[in-house]
Structure 1
Amino acid sequence: MTTRFEVPGLAEPVEILVDRWGVPHLYANSRADLFLAQGFNAARDRLFQLDLWRRRGLGLLAEVLGERYVEHDRAARLFLYRGDMAEEWAAYGPGTEEMARSFVAGINAYVTLCRDTSGAGAGMLPPEFALLGYGPALWEAADVARIRSHGLFYNLHEEVRRALTLRDFGPAAEELRKVREPHGPLKVPEGLDLDVIPDDVLRVYELATTAPWSPNAPRQGLDGSNNWALAPSRTATGRPLLANDPHRPVTVPSLRYLAHLSAPDLEVIGAGEPALPGVSIGHNRHLAFGFTIFPVDQEDLYVYRTHPEDPHSYAYGDGWEPMTRVTEAIPVRGREPVAAELWFTRHGPVIRERPERQAAFAVRAAWLGAGMAPYLGSAGYMDARTPDAFTEAMRGWGAPGENQVYAAPDGTIGWRPAARVPVRRGWDGTLPVPGDGRYEWDGLLAPEELPQVRDPAEGWLATANQFNLPPDHPHEEHPVTFDWYAPTRYERCAEVLAEAREWTAADCVRLQTDYVSLPARRVLPLLADSHSEEPGVRAGLELLRGWDGTLSAGSGAAALFEVWFRRHLRPALLRRALRPLVGSGRVEEALARILPAEGSAADPRVELRLLAAPDPDGELEALLLESLGEAVDAVAGLLGDDPSDWAWGTLHRAELRHPVAALLRAAGTGGGTGAGGEAGDRAEAGAGGTGVPGWCGLGPLPRGGSGDTVGAAAYLQDFRQNGGASFRMVIDVGDWDASLVMNSPGQSGDPRSAHYADLFPAWAADEAFPLVCSRSRVREETAATIWLTPP
């Protein structure tokens, strides 16, 4: 099948070969035409997603979705890049502005075509627009760079949760809430009054950085990833292998989009976010590259003492400094525009004011500076041809912080963290600080002051967001962060990769979907000598004793362990530890504060530490058995009384929901166009009830794993998977056509496309498909041809 489009702005024709998995392979005669075609094609597959991305980021949701989004729009506008655009474009290196302009011209060409509903664009507009009653907007190139609130952000939530826990329950309770690495005593910054910080201090920040239609998505900054590289000595072919599986919200459409971009001076294939030009994870036939989050502390909450007679002046140095006011009009569908006052201090946007306490709060974020648009820094390394060129390009990388791994056909493998790390002298960023001038950043850490590794003697390297700074890193002088992820996924990767011999790309896929639970392996021996006369406890012991700790979808023991460890054992251990700290009357209040949020990245270290602690009173076994009995009863209530019928995948499932589902349900129930809130999130995916189309939900399909496993599958209170690797890639470095990939639920975001959900079953079954890139292999797999020509 061949389709042709006339596209304004093209100098010469561009050929797009779409393979049978929906991956577009774009062939152009210049970079300008290539990136224009990339924008046009991204809009062809993801127009509604692109439009929603832009509107949310720029604060333009209320314009089409109504008044209830005014607060979201105001919050988003606080976190736009507001600096000089010439400085912004220059920060990414030569050619980035031109690339963005071409890309946006392509999007606009497709938008313009779709608006011609009685001509060439008839029937092309995705159905979401008609259902919600508005049309797609045109873009400006600056939109790509100015929008910052879609990125992954680090430390601010931990600063505040730490401060509130210290305020209400003291430092010993904080030790039960969160592991800090390297560990050291917490010091409340001089001049900081913890009592002045309100519980809702981050409400506006969360409105800006969390999609309003996805209230139960993993909070940004709590998503992990895995990557590794194997040297030729570890592989079956004598070529390196590079694997990457970023963990983000599991959604429909998917977060990432695969594309192959080919021009005379550039060839790159892999994935990026559909609203951004280029490719950020993939290869360019000279190098393979991938990343995981390197959780740099790039944020601080500043607490100000405001003037008693002027709440928009704050104490700074020896005097008072006025805040800056920006007034903007927020367009609202069906109503007059709303005037929004935005206030800024020298440190950043003001997110909360407490005039009755003479206090205000602002966020300083490195990612609001020039050159920090999330992932746009990949423009600097897409066509790096040597390992040295790649690592040099990392010097200019902005946000988010990443563990970049790379591999070359000559056998080179390497790791380099890429991040702009604020220098804090005399303080460490673990808690909010006064905004009076005593706690300023002293520039950024020089890139060479971060460690890097090339060609390790072990023949492999891996990262999984764990604490991976070397022992000689000067933490006191140059803290990077104290809030790292649990090492569980890395430890399992290391265990497997250390034994790797004759590995293939398929072996890497198996590790990417590995469901061995290290917490289960460490907890199960504690039950080895336990006995009980209670029938339920006895049945639970029998089930767990015969289990190897793998959270496979078909395992009944996996279902019992997850319910037990997270829902019963964890709170029982924490209650026991909290009682002497806060008193019996406040245990439940304190427990609610320190329990990890459902659906967040898992961290079992506190519970494992409590289980390993001395037990002079011999209470631990009774606690283990009592909580296990409770868990058996709970699973029986969910899956029936017969443990032989239990299966983890019956509870733990992938059930993807389109953001429009909640919007339509709210409209259908008379609530007006809006997010739908909790009720919208509970909406059944599928047609019926309130007229929500069937394509708004996919699944359910059974899933293995958890937030603790390499095959990450974080889940919500109802066991629905909300985070993990919807995108996976393994690159056979040198034999590029032998690479493997997966992108769930499909390449297209248009519900009418055959590629909207075609990959969903294969993804849920932990499969992969070939990422072909040679012209001959692409032609073998081509299912459709698209020609873009100048008018």
Structure 2
Amino acid sequence: MNNIKKIGLILLILLAIGAVFAGISVNALSPTYKGQKLLPKLSTATLVHYDTYGIPHIYADNETDAIRTLGYVHAQDRLWQMEVLRRIGTGRLSEVFGSKMLDTDKFFLSLGIDEATKQTVANLDKNSPMVQLSQAYLDGLNQFVADGPTPIEYYLTGLEKAPFDLGDIYNTVGYMAFSFAQAHKTDPLLTNIKDKLGEAYLLDLDININPNTEWIKNYKNTKKGDIQNSIAEMTNKALGALSLPMFEGSNSWVIAPSKTKNGKVIFANDPHIGFSQPSVWYEAHISTPSYEKYGYFMGGIPFPILAHDRNLAYGMTMFQNDDIDFYYEETHPTRKEKYKSRLGWATYEKVRKIIKIKDSTDYEFTYEKSEHGPILNGIAKQIDGEQPIAMWWMYTQHKNEVMDALYGMCHAKNLNGFQAALPKIHAPGLNIMYGDSEGNVAWWASAKLYKDGNSNQTKFVLKDSSDLNAPERYLDFSENPQAINPPWNYVYSANNQPDSIAGMIYPGYYLPENRAKRIVDLLEPKDDWRMEDVKEMITDVVSPINPKIVKELNKFVSAKELSDSQRVVLDKLSTWKGENNLDNIEPAVYHRWIYFFLKNTFADELGEDMFQQFLATHLLKRTIAPMAAKSESVWWDDINTKDNIETKAQIVITSLIEALQSLENDLGADPNQWTWDKLHTLEHPHPIGQVAALRPFFNVGPYPIQGTREVINNLAFNYDDTGMYAVTAGPSTRRIIDFSDIENSMSILPTGQSGNPFSEHYDDQAEMYVKGEFRKMMMNEKEIKDTSKSLLTFKPTQD
């Protein structure tokens, strides 16, 4: 009966699509890349030349007209993406996808993104250049909403198009800010480990900073309730329900002239973001007599987050500082509406919200807030225990000037002007990377940092009533980690631990040294870098750390416990140099071994739910190498075998045999067939692609792909008992800008420029991306116009 129902549902969906196609031609649903259109409020006509990959090169007499045109062309390729992004932070996904998104909506509403947006927008100076240009962008976007073809996703979901406003821009920025955070995955888990197992079990986890790993160097010159299945599980479900793009990590390095063959700066950046379709970035080149920029834009945001021109280039990686904290609140013993604050008993603020649900009645709920932030109990059914837990988040607690920072960055003329914009970034914390035609290279950790008595204990749910809005002091931006024109002649970031210039360690959820070590090892000895060298480096798939982990584990392997065929595989793994190519078998053996090693070490104490949470953290990635090197640990003993005390050697050999057996079960008895291409694949998921019948139409892929976790070509995946490594996140673009040949700078997108499945540019870069290929970021006006695939002209309407 269930199969009959599924078949019936699929047929209904296919009939619905057929009805759409019958009533509307495919051409009517496609973006318009040539011809003429009227665009209100333009002062003069604008020209949009589309290149071979559908990237618009916008030529206008002034920046306002150019940005208004950008709003229109951005919307015609990405309106559905903009729609979803603006709804996340405001709890409006259930209006589109129904009750399955209710928990997601409740969670994001409780964060207060919508309330913070209202306050920010109300206080904006409507005459400021930032707001004026933002409004011009919205004018163009809304003109497409009014008269452009409706994307097919609106027909399939029954959603009506609606105009966008300034609040939608800030709500999208709010979602972006939260998706950087790691505290929600880590703090509750560590608190549970401490409370349930004891502090001894924390000693072998890599919680504190290891001074022996690769740190980013600074340089300046004058130029209590049971929350086991609560916050972590709730947020993972909320963020994963629609394959939403989450910000995961990133690489960037900027090479000074003295280390390049042509004597000019070379800039490289590849932000790591969860894969989705469409991909995160929309490329656009804007050219006016007074302003030019080649930028990467997020859906619904008018200023580029990554960009370059002929004078300077900038990009970002995630800083990974800690800007979220959780607090146990003490409720009054007889008056449940009150809690203990730093000034005495205070009354919880009650917040009432209504969520509209597609094809159902509205859902009303109320949550409470303390001085720290929203009380998460009751927000989702996963929260156990009665002791209230509040969440403090830097983004909602402080004045929001992130849009002013983006405006300042993309309008800066030089290093000093660029740096002046960065203190406006309070959250999320970003490593901002910079290089220019004058030979300057720089890196700044941009975030609102503070000193406080709790600042070294923020990886646990806190039990005091301190006020992070009034810490010991907030740091001046000059005390943030940074390096400007250092004597070693390069700057870089790989989300690893920065050194301090403020006499303190900056708390955070930094990634292990794997990528950082490889970047430094490659950059340091070479002084004649070329564009081609950097292209090879940014697609590098070698891990300097994983072979060392294998070496440490091998110390505990007794060959006599292995069969002849198993010893042959181990011998091959023992000589591995860390490559992760499609025809390698070593990555398959390594990751199966590591998974079983982790499972046999941690799962018995943690239990299944906490173990799965642990696997999803950066903490897990930081723990693998130290645990492989430790001889003694409280974690080695299996608590389920009461009469035996297991040793590391038993864990290691058992895990290896289980790994080899699982590969044989999955891929056959011949180890030569255990190649990485059979296990490591990339598919770009579209929200509508979750419907199986629509998956081939909306999703892109899957493709076998080289690379792995924590190499420069960083392709993240989850460890689980399937033994398959479906990539979830990776380089959202790869950009290389050579100031000796700016017009031949290179880039790539994971799928294509357009989010419209009827566009020829929906997936025309996908295979290039998988192969590690690049294409030009064109800036030469004559070349653009001579090779333009199509021309779209916008003319002002007549009064």
What band does the TM-score fall into relative to the shorter chain? 0.7 to 0.9
Which residue, 97, 101, 106 being the options, matches 2:140? 106
Q: Per the alignment, do residues 591 and 82 of structure 1 end up closer, same or farther by CA in structure 2, a change over 3 Å counting? A: closer
The amino acid of 1:80's aligned partner reads I
Q: How high is the TM-score relative to the length of structure 1?
A: 0.85
Structure 2 match to 1:417: 445
Which residue, 73, 96, 107 being the options, matches 2:130? 96
How far off its partner does 1:320 sit? Answer: 2.2
Superposed counterparts of 1:42-57, under 5 Å: 42-57=74-89
Distance in structure 2 (CA, Å) of the matches to 1:321 and 1:11:
56
Q: Does 1:779 align with 2:785?
A: yes
Q: Does 1:641 align with 2:669?
A: yes
How far off its partner does 1:627 sit? Answer: 2.8
Secondary structure of the 2:115 match is coil
1:425·1:441 contact (CA, 8 Å) conserved in 2? no
The amino acid of 1:481's aligned partner reads P
Q: Per the alignment, do residues 626 and 644 of structure 1 end up closer, same or farther by CA in structure 2, a change over 3 Å counting? A: same
Structure 2 match to 1:544: 573
Render the CA deviation track for 1:402-446: whole Å, top value 9, x for unaligned.
Answer: 111111112111111111124423553232224635666425321
Structure 2 match to 1:593: 610
2:227·2:385 contact (CA, 8 Å) conserved in 1? no
Render the CA deviation track for 1:510-547: whole Å, top value 9, x for unaligned.
Answer: 21211112232213445499634513321312332443
How far off its partner does 1:473 sit? Answer: 4.0
Which residue, 617, 630, 650 being the options, matches 1:613? 630
Superposed counterparts of 1:555-704, under 5 Å: 555-565=584-594, 567-572=595-600, 574=601, 587-589=604-606, 593=610, 597-598=614-615, 601=618, 604-614=621-631, 623-662=651-690, 665=691, 683=692, 691-692=693-694, 694-704=696-706
Distance in structure 2 (CA, Å) of the matches to 1:524 and 1:458:
32
The amino acid of 1:109's aligned partner reads Q
How far off its partner does 1:706 sit? Answer: 1.5
Which residue, 343, 346, 360 being the options, matches 2:371? 346
Structure 1 match to 2:296: 271
Which residue, 709, 718, 729 being the options, matches 1:707? 709
Secondary structure of the 1:467 match is coil
Distance in structure 2 (CA, Å) of the matches to 1:179 and 1:144:
36
The amino acid of 1:159's aligned partner reads D
2:53·2:761 contact (CA, 8 Å) conserved in 1? yes
Superposed counterparts of 1:210-225, under 5 Å: 210-214=239-243, 220=246, 223-225=248-250
1:81·1:368 contact (CA, 8 Å) conserved in 2? no
2:401·2:425 contact (CA, 8 Å) conserved in 1? no
Q: Does 1:26 align with 2:51?
A: no
Superposed counterparts of 1:10-159, under 5 Å: 10-78=42-110, 79-83=112-116, 85=119, 94-114=128-148, 124-147=149-172, 148-151=174-177, 152-159=180-187
Which residue, 438, 459, 476 being the options, matches 1:446? 476
Render the CA deviation track for 1:176-220: whole Å, top value 9, x for unaligned.
Answer: 444322689xxxxxxxxx3x2432442797289625323xx78x5
Structure 2 match to 1:433: 462
Distance in structure 2 (CA, Å) of the matches to 1:650 and 1:467:
34
How far off its partner does 1:81 sit? Answer: 4.5
Distance in structure 1 (CA, Å) of the matches to 2:188 and 2:205:
13
The amino acid of 1:698's aligned partner reads V
2:126·2:132 contact (CA, 8 Å) conserved in 1? no
Percent identical residues: 22
Structure 2 match to 1:463: 493
Structure 1 gap segments, 5+ residues each: 115-123, 185-193, 576-585, 666-682, 684-690
Distance in structure 2 (CA, Å) of the matches to 1:790 and 1:487:
54
1:375·1:399 contact (CA, 8 Å) conserved in 2? no
Secondary structure of the 1:720 match is strand
How far off its partner does 1:619 sit? Answer: 6.2
How far off its partner does 1:626 sit? Answer: 4.0
Distance in structure 2 (CA, Å) of the matches to 1:203 and 1:169:
18
How far off its partner does 1:132 sit? Answer: 1.7
Secondary structure of the 1:45 match is helix
Render the CA deviation track for 1:218-242: whole Å, top value 9, x for unaligned.
Answer: 8x56x11000011112212111101
Structure 2 match to 1:118: none
Structure 2 match to 1:503: 529
How far off its partner does 1:751 sit? Answer: 0.2
Render the CA deviation track for 1:545-590: whole Å, top value 9, x for unaligned.
Answer: 443220112211222222222x223334x35xxxxxxxxxx93435
Distance in structure 2 (CA, Å) of the matches to 1:285 and 1:92:
31
1:163·1:432 contact (CA, 8 Å) conserved in 2? yes
1:40·1:109 contact (CA, 8 Å) conserved in 2? yes
Structure 1 match to 2:744: 738
The amino acid of 2:624's aligned partner reads E
Q: Per the alignment, do residues 531 and 65 of structure 1 end up closer, same or farther by CA in structure 2, a change over 3 Å counting? A: closer
How far off its partner does 1:779 sit? Answer: 2.0
The amino acid of 2:165's aligned partner reads E
2:367·2:378 contact (CA, 8 Å) conserved in 1? no
Secondary structure of the 1:54 match is helix
Secondary structure of the 2:242 match is coil
Q: How high is the TM-score relative to the length of structure 2?
A: 0.84
How far off its partner does 1:67 sit? Answer: 3.4
1:204·1:351 contact (CA, 8 Å) conserved in 2? no
1:366·1:372 contact (CA, 8 Å) conserved in 2? no
Secondary structure of the 1:381 match is helix
Secondary structure of the 1:224 match is strand
1:234·1:501 contact (CA, 8 Å) conserved in 2? yes
Secondary structure of the 1:462 match is strand
Q: Does 1:553 align with 2:553?
A: no
Aligned pair count reads 726
The range that moved more, 127-136 or 36-45, is 127-136
The amino acid of 2:626's aligned partner reads R
Q: Per the alignment, do residues 297 and 209 of structure 1 end up closer, same or farther by CA in structure 2, a change over 3 Å counting? A: farther
Q: Per the alignment, do residues 280 and 350 of structure 1 end up closer, same or farther by CA in structure 2, a change over 3 Å counting? A: same
The amino acid of 1:405's aligned partner reads M
Structure 2 gap segments, 5+ residues each: 1-32, 213-223, 634-644
How far off its partner does 1:61 sit? Answer: 2.0
The amino acid of 1:699's aligned partner reads G
Distance in structure 2 (CA, Å) of the matches to 1:158 and 1:203:
7
Secondary structure of the 2:656 match is helix
Q: Does 1:202 align with 2:202?
A: no
Over the residues paired in the alignment, what is the CA RMSD in angstroms? 3.1
Secondary structure of the 2:295 match is strand
Distance in structure 2 (CA, Å) of the matches to 1:427 and 1:544:
42
Distance in structure 2 (CA, Å) of the matches to 1:246 and 1:782:
29
